Amino acid sequence: MRYHMETKIQELRKANKISQAELADEMGVTRQTIILLEKGRYNASLELAFKIARYFGKTIEEVFIFEED
């Protein structure tokens, strides 16, 4: 069984008029990490997932969509 994760980070970021660099600074990660998260090429640590969700006032499940193939 394979899994993949999608995120709503880009959608939330744009709705809140926050740049990738600004979000990266707030989260203590690189802009590249935000880019990879938005493209679904990187899975956030649980700590980072919580930080991002809290930043946007959402639950982890509202930001990160975990799917089984």
Return the closest-CA partner of residue 17 out of 56, 53, 51, 45: 56
The CATH number for 52's domain is 1.10.260.40
Q: Token pair 């899975």 is at which residue? A: 43
Nearest to 66 by CA among 29, 40, 33, 32: 40
What is the domain range of residue 51?
3-68
| Number of domains, the chain | 1
Write out the H or E segment, with its range, that includes residue 21: helix 20-27
Is residue 37 within 8 Å of residue 44, measured between CB atoms?
A: yes
φ, ψ of residue 63 in degrees (nearest 5): -105, -40
Quick: pLDDT tens for 24-67: 999 999 999 999 999 989 989 999 999 999 999 999 999 999 88
Whole-model pTM: value is 0.89
Q: What's the pLDDT tens digit per position in 37-46?
A: 999 899 899 9
